[in-house]
Structure 1
Amino acid sequence: MTPKTPRLIATDLDGTIIRSDGTISARTVAAFVRAERAGSQVVFVTGRPPGQMAGVVAAFGPHGTAICSNGAFVQDLRTSRVIEEHPIAITELTQAAKLLRELFPGIGLAIEYADELAGDPYYAPDDWDGDVVIQRLADDLLFGRPGHKLLGRHPELSADELLAAAGPVLGDLVTVYHSNGKRLIEANAAGVNKASALADLARRRGFDHADVAAFGDMPNDLPMLNWAGTSYGVANAHPDVLSAVDHVIGHHDEDGVSATLERLFPEGAHAEGGHAV
């Protein structure tokens, strides 16, 4: 069966349209432009905070909307301004941090904001954190204000192991997930995820879930993929994603998303090159 032509396209970035070398291909940019010219709207739905969206804007141009930090922020890409935010309240943030430390001795914790990252002395940064300098804070300051995303990096346990153990314990307190960061577990406020933010945005624009096609690769994408009318997982996706989506498409390094958009919106030729993000 040929998928319905989507009115709204929601796509993850890293591991989905951003390739392993950190670029977005010109072919992918052209495919999204084609979809927009055909009348479909595009929204980027990412785990990246707003402060790490400059490269994406450089590739696609300063237009459109991004849902960032897995639903904690909505950003207007024309102005780079955050227009909506959903932080974890201090009480829940403090309790979640306490439980993570009890579950996983030795874990390092950090709080992600729109363009800041603060952490305890044990949080080990990685490429996932971008170029932001970590503010090292004592607990009273680290958990003394609402935080948009709670991060926990363990010295040994994998992201899958962390999520399997933490999900049942923290699930009523915060939204727990991972997006394939090394030994990294992540959390947003309870009820906040990619699907909740995307559903709100779609409703405001007059779209139903059946109008939406979503693309992703990691467990943090599952709420969005399950909510969308049509879901696509790239071939490099996490096994849980591959088993959940309606369609498995090409690898992100082979421009699987753009190839799919070219089928949904057939016109024009392939562009060459790429944009570092």
Structure 2
Amino acid sequence: MAPTDESTQTTDGIANQTEPRAGLLDESTAREEKWSVESVVSQLPYRYAEGTNSPIPFFHLLERLKTTPRAGWKRFGVPNCESISDHMYRMSILTMMAPASISSKLDILKCCRMALIHDMAESLVGDITPVDPVSKEEKSRRESETMDYICGNLLGKFNGGLNGRELRAIWQEYEDSETLESKFVHDIDKVELLVQMLEYERTHGKDLGEFTWVATKIQSAEVKAWADVIFWERVQLWKSRGIENPHWNGVEPPMSKPPSL
């Protein structure tokens, strides 16, 4: 089973998804790549006013990020799982915890903003997973089209379009993943998932080790060190439940010696 491109989902767990999710059309339409922003917003009970001088329509769109659950957890049956905005909020806090060894090289304010922006397109696209009939290229097209809609149609006239252009540029920087800031935020995306994984294991008693593989994609030594602590805590959790070897997906279990805290 191959891991996904991003740290949010896995192909294991519940294979079938019948509950409609934000931005996802029926399977045949999705396969034919007929998705468009209009195909989504035309189905909403209230359309967002476009081309205005006010950011209020944009504020309303953000509500969808607060109410759309992260699909990977739902596939594993985690009840009342986090929303997309829950994930982005804690990511933004994590960026501010960067140790001096890495923060001295980064624009941390940009990293914080990037964390709050990077999944914004999911407000209309939805949280696409590998079991959805959408290719990586098609997912990218949908997200790019959505960001054009947000930054142009909704924010294009507000403040001369400055805020929309800045938001679009930061989102694109994350997608391109070429700058130090974007690479760091990609690492933060992964370690935030690992924190949440452990917390759901504690709360619900589920072995969510399928998600541990994302640690192999973390690049910075500083964030890898955070993952080491998370994995040590995970070993102790499952030992306390009488399980010596919970599932590890492509990751070597931590050594018996705890990491330096």
TM (normalized to structure 2)?
0.33
Higher relative contact order (CA 8 A, sep 6+): 1
The structure carrying a bigger helix percent of its residues is: 2
TM (normalized to structure 1)?
0.32
